[in-house]
A and B are shown apart, each in its own frame.
Chain A
Amino acid sequence: MVEQRFADGGAVSPLGNRTFDPVVVVAGPGVEVLEHSFTDQLDVRLDPEPAVLGALGDRLRVAIPAEPNRVGRDGRRLALWLAPDEWLVLDPDNLEDDVARLTMEGGWPPDVTFVDVSAHRTLLELRGRDARALLARGCPLDLDPRVFGPDHCAQTLLARVDVILFRLDGTDAFGVLVRASFARYLVAWLTDALEGFYA
Chain B
Amino acid sequence: MLLISCPWCGPREEIEFRNGGEAGVAAPEPDAEPTTDEISGFLFFRSNPKGSFHERWNHSHGCRRWVSLTRSTITHEIESESQPTGRFRP
Contact = CB atoms under 8 A, between A and B. Distances in A.
**Direct interface between A and B, CB < 8 A:** yes
Interface residues of B, number: 16
Interface residues of A, number: 16
Given A68-B9, A84-B63, A140 B90 contact: no
A48 B8 CA distance: 13
B88 A156 contact: no
Interface string A75-88: 00000001111100
A114 B8 CA distance: 22
B22 interface: no
B62 A84 contact: no
- DSSP majority for the B interface? loop
Contacts of A47: 87-88
24 contacts: A47-B87, A47-B88, A68-B8, A68-B90, A69-B8, A69-B9, A69-B10, A83-B8, A83-B63, A83-B64, A84-B8, A84-B63, A84-B65, A140-B12, A140-B13, A140-B15, A140-B16, A141-B12, A154-B9, A154-B62, A155-B63, A155-B64, A156-B62, A157-B61
A162 interface: yes
Interface in B39-90: 61-65, 84, 87-88, 90
A37 to B, nearest CB: 25
Contacts of A162: 61
Interface of B: 8-10, 12-13, 15-16, 61-65, 84, 87-88, 90
Contacts of A83: 8, 63-65
A156 B8 CA distance: 13
Interface of A: 47-48, 68-69, 82-86, 140-141, 154-157, 162
B67 to A, nearest CB: 12
A156 B12 contact: yes
Contacts of B88: 47-48, 84-85
